[in-house]
Structure 1
Amino acid sequence: MKSIFTYIFVASVFLGQTVSAQNYELAQVAVTPFEKSVKRAGKVAFKRTLKLSFKSSGYLKTLSVDEGDFFSAKQLLASLNTEELIAEKNSRYAQLLQAKREVNRTKKLLAQELSSEQALELAQTNVETTREAYQVSYYNLEKAEIYAPFDGVVLARYTDLAEFQAPGQEVLEVAAINKNLVVKVKLTDKEISFVKLGQNVAVDLPNIGRINGVISKIPVTSNTEGALYLIEVLLEDIQAGQGVVAGQLAQVTIHFATENSVYQVPISALIEIDDQGSAVLFTKVSSGKLMRQAFDVLNIDTQSIYLRAQSHNDAIEFVVNGWQQLNISEL
């Protein structure tokens, strides 16, 4: 609660000395909880993207999606020509059958004392080796097809039909459309200390209006030029394609409410910041005189300076305008 008082000292002559006219404003400031809001512009982006590739090598046979296309979970997105992989699998399977037959033959010979335990062990080891080779060839055949891991959208395509694909070569870059859109916003070192994971914020989007967002990522170190901190605000209730696209601008409004108590004083009242980092201001004491007083600073913005206080502290009268005209020797 602030009340403004204007004190006007009229020029007069006293004991032969002239006292110049001085005008200043006093504001009575009560202790309040520290609350403020910050508005920042940021860009919409996908929180996570995924690059898809084949485990096997071969020529690209089918490609059912292109950049900008939406797809459903478990949908076939791309596949290789599998003739060579099928032949490899069948060959490994035949080798496995032959290895099993060799074990049975060796057992019969051993029963007739025409073979040895060592030969049987070698035959059994060969079965395990060929079984593993068959499993690998079967797995490679399965991985010659790419199925969608979730409902999503294609962000980029890196290949064309009939092109040879090496294992691990990127084919598509995709992103999930559910709970995967974020707005990336930069905060200062003072502002970052007031936000919390899971905190609700307001997000204004073009063509949509205001929606709810949740702070989903807070870095522990500055990650942009100028020592700013890039946080992420998750848009939980909106999907990609519902009137919002990655890259568009959005405005985020964050309300800060803490357990700290402060005097919220207009920035015009600030005289200086001393060597200890305290804010120096003029206050009116009980005797009615003005004095310089230093306060610990909790936060500063373009309009106010927030001075630390205790919840039981009394209201203080601050000189909020005109302190530059005061004759300090007369205070």
Structure 2
Amino acid sequence: MKNILILLTFTVALAACDSGDKTEQLKAELATLKQEIQEKTVKVNELEAQIAQLDPNFSKKQDRSILVKTNKVLQQDFVHKIQVQGQVASRRNITLGAETMGRAIQVNVETGDDVKRGQLLVKFEAESTINSIKEVETALSLATTIFEKQANLWKQEIGTEVQYLEAKNRKESLERQLATLKSQLDKAEIRAPFNGRVNDVMVNLGELVQPGLPVVSLVGNEQMYLKAEVSEKYINDFQVGDEVEVYLPSIKQSFKSKVSAISYVINPANRTFQLDVKMTNQSLELKPNQFARLQLADYTSEKTIVVPSDIIQQDNIGDFVYAVNTKEGKKVADKVRVERGLTYDGNTEVLKGLKAGDEVITEGYRDAVTGISIQVAK
């Protein structure tokens, strides 16, 4: 019984595969036939047009026209843009580390906390430094008193200059020692250098930390910007101040900004250069490394000929469009050779072949051949 079920399953699967293969075969055959019909239709139209030129009677018998839509060519501005991937960055995205060895005796923040500039984040044990400061302060107090008395005596020309200078040197030396010790004591505390948010805390209360090890990661909401890696082939196409269209997919927000900086050093690993963009909308809740899409104009041409890209066709000679011409009082299609430029957003710049005011066929052009009579749909 088990063998019968396996055989039936295999038979059904085989039939399904055969059915799928048959469907794909029929689709391919249909596509081939449609292509042949289109090619033969174009060939018939070309032959009829050629015969009509040689035999006027044939032209009268075969007099027919195709229905098309047309547009007049106008001069307009053409802009070509590229899209690059970028990300949000912050100039205030830092990791604060320990400057001296010590045990954490205070950890005042947690991940996600908002902090103010100067706020104490983490404090390390510094008992020996505090005791040294007290000792130096006591010695400095005595040295200051001796120096003041010695200075008064020296004004009265009592004592020697050496005694005065020794007292002064002792006092100043202790002042420098005290300043050094207080600086060391400051290093036992980590304070926020700017307003921001705690991204991570890498130390626990009571943990011994070595100098240089990371302790707190802090991110500031200010000075956010966008950065993108752009192919080196565009190195001369952009300038500081160029307009940029920005889209943030994660929050579905768009805004316009400007290029703020361009790196002129090529990254040898991926042959790109960095391009920075200002963050004009500071009200958005953004996070470093958040994905962004940037659109920049790498080519602009003013008052040029622009046509829809899909009306430009190709043959074995090159690119062409069908324009409207008048022959014996009738509108006919005329194949015009063109030289195309860049294409963007469904439009193509035409460098040669057309001029302002020319009428081109925008619909029905696939049925057109040179000399065929046309009717313009209203």
The normalised TM-score by structure 2 is 0.58
Matches within 5 A, 1:1-331: 9-11=46-48, 12-13=50-51, 28-35=72-79, 40-104=84-148, 106-107=150-151, 115-180=159-224, 182-187=225-230, 189-190=233-234, 193=237, 196-197=240-241, 199=243, 201-206=245-250, 208-212=251-255, 214-215=257-258, 217-221=260-264, 222-223=266-267, 225-227=270-272, 229-232=274-277, 234=279, 236-238=281-283, 240=285, 244-252=286-294, 260-267=302-309, 269=312, 282=320, 299-301=342-344, 303-306=346-349, 314-315=356-357
What is residue 17 of structure 2 aligned with on the other side?
none
The separation in 1 between residues aligned to 2:70 and 2:234, in whole angstroms, is: 28
The separation in 1 between residues aligned to 2:236 and 2:307, in whole angstroms, is: 22
Q: Offset of 1:185 from its aligned partner?
A: 4.0
CA contact (8 A) 1:152 1:177 kept: yes
SS at match of 2:356: coil
More helix by share: 2
CA contact (8 A) 1:39 1:254 kept: yes
Aligned length: 295
SS at match of 2:247: strand
SS at match of 1:201: strand
The amino acid that maps onto 1:128 is: E
SS at match of 1:177: coil
Q: Which runs of 4+ in 1 moved over 6 A?
A: 111-114, 283-291, 317-322
Q: Offset of 1:104 from its aligned partner?
A: 3.8
SS at match of 2:216: strand
SS at match of 1:89: helix
The separation in 2 between residues aligned to 1:315 and 1:191, in whole angstroms, is: 37
SS at match of 2:262: coil
The amino acid that maps onto 1:261 is: K
* Sequence identity percentage: 18
The separation in 2 between residues aligned to 1:247 and 1:107, in whole angstroms, is: 64
Structure 2 gaps, min length 5: 1-41, 56-65, 327-332, 371-378
Structure 1 gaps, min length 5: 1-5, 17-22, 272-279, 327-331
The separation in 2 between residues aligned to 1:136 and 1:74, in whole angstroms, is: 21
> Aligned-pair RMSD on alpha carbons?
4.7
Q: Offset of 1:32 from its aligned partner?
A: 1.0
For each residue in 1:218-267, what CA deviation from the matched residue of structure 2 results, as whole angstroms up to 9, or x when unmatched? Answer: 42335572536544452633354xxx544444445567896733333455
The normalised TM-score by structure 1 is 0.65
The separation in 2 between residues aligned to 1:178 and 1:163, in whole angstroms, is: 32
SS at match of 2:174: helix
Decide whether aligned partners of structure 1 residues 113 and 217 sit closer, same or farther in structure 2, where only a CA change above 3 A counts. Answer: closer
More strand by share: 1
CA contact (8 A) 1:285 1:291 kept: no
